[in-house]
Amino acid sequence: MFVHHALDLFPSESLANHIQNLLDKRDNNNLCTELVYFYCARRPDKEFVALQKYDNFTYCCVPLIALGQVGLHLDLYNLPDITEPNKSYCYLSNRNTPERVAIYDFLVKENLVHLGYVSFRDRQDDGTIHSQITIGSETFRNFDDPEYNDDYNHPPRSAQWYFPQQDFLFDFNAETFQGEKYPWLSEKGYKGFLWGKIVVSLGQQGMMHYLESLGFDIYRDIVDFTYDLQHESHVRQELFCKEIKRLATTKVLPDVMKRAYKNRQHFVELHARCNQILSAIDQDIDVELIRGF
């Protein structure tokens, strides 16, 4: 039996080809010799959907294992204190999608950039200079941090679980995958809870509600999540922009420090649960036992 879990959120085509080679193995009686369980934090890409024609292959989507990577980079039991906000928000757009470009352009148009920490790079999501995305703005950054310089280099993986500045309240972000019919999160959707921020994330329909179902306080009394309920992505985007403008221009930032520490503690507890799952997978525990966590 071959058991694999992908801490990398984007399992590659080459890995799918490797697994297919395992699935095709036969003994002298033409019987399958390999049973493959593949665990990943996201739903299967087309390469892995194609593998599901094999009776000896099981793809297990376990979203929580996306948190497994954070323990490789941060000591969750020795984090600095949560910082009191001096700025309203942070918005980082280092690998651009059409949605991220539209949010940045909105912040500029509405004269909101000075209210937060903002980074924008003239690169599309695969890291190349934009070719398929119309980007009218040049690279912009209104803070100093060695991990977020003006040259396009992917920051170290650890940096993706940090913010370049900490003294802000609202974490405005847009997930990479907007059109999926199910919630799917990268570190962008999770990390704000770790650092005591109010997360306002644009993603798939219901993504913020999914985070709430995991036990996080999403501050419903402060944020209007009507945008998160919308089926059409362009409607979600429009309502999201209206809401971040309202939040960014809030004259008196709410005091949520106690709730912020509760969200941090919950993050740590979820990470411990994630490690339990990963440990069980490593020990070749049966699929039904994994589902019981």
Report whether pLDDT(62) > 90: no
Higher pLDDT, 177 or 84: 84
Nearest residue to 60 (alpha-carbon basis) of 78, 48, 70: 48
**What is the arithmetic mean of pLDDT over 96-110?**
92
Domain ranges of the chain: 2-67+270-291, 87-268
Block residue for tokens 């972000």: 173
**Contact at 8 Å (CB) between 7 and 68?**
yes
pLDDT tens digit string along 74-87? 899 999 999 999 99
Average pLDDT over residues 182-186: 74
Cβ neighbours for 169, distance < 8 A, ≥ 6 positions apart: 85, 87, 88, 89, 197, 198, 253, 254, 256
3-state helix, strand, coil in the chain (%, to 5): 40, 15, 45
Is 6 a residue whose pLDDT tops 60?
A: no
Q: What is the pLDDT of residue 11?
A: 57
Report the alpha-carbon angle 157-209-277, nearest 5: 50
Query: Best-predicted range by mean pLDDT among 65-74, 93-102, 121-130, 235-244?
Result: 235-244
Determine which of 44-58, 131-145, 273-287 has the lowest per-residue pLDDT on average.
131-145
**Who's near 286: CB < 8 A, 6+ residues apart?**
none
CB-based burial of residue 103 (10 Å sphere; 0-12 exposed, 13-18 middle, 19+ buried)? Answer: buried
- Please say if the pLDDT value at position 165 is more than 50: yes
The per-residue pLDDT for 261 is: 97
Residue 210 to residues 21, 35, 145, Cα–Cα distance (Å): 36, 32, 32
Q: What are phi and psi of 263, to 5 degrees?
A: -65, -40
**Mean pLDDT of the chain, nearest integer:** 84
Residue 111 has pLDDT above 70, yes or no: yes
pTM assigned to the model: 0.84
- As a whole number of angstroms, the distance between CA 172 and CA 194 comes to 15
pLDDT tens-digit map of 63-74 = 888 888 888 788
**% of the chain beyond a pLDDT of 70:** 81
* 159 sits in which H/E element: none
Per-residue model confidence (pLDDT) at position 93: 87
Strand partners, 118: 91
Q: Are 115 and 89 in contact (CB under 8 A)?
A: yes
Q: Predicted confidence band at 132 (pLDDT cuts at 50, 70, 90)? A: very low
Average pLDDT over residues 181-190: 79
Does 199 score more than 50 pLDDT? Answer: yes
Pick the residue with more confidence: 127 or 28? 28
- pLDDT reported for residue 290: 44
Residue 104 token pair: 């940045």
Among 16-25, 120-129, 224-233, 272-281, which is the least confidently predicted range? Answer: 120-129
Give Cα separations from 136 to 76, 108, 241, 260 (angstroms). 40, 11, 18, 37
Examine the pLDDT at 222 and tell me if it is beyond 90: yes
| DSSP-derived 3-state class of residue 135 | coil
pLDDT at 125: 54
Q: Which of 56-65, 218-227, 243-252, 253-262 has the lowest mean pLDDT?
A: 56-65
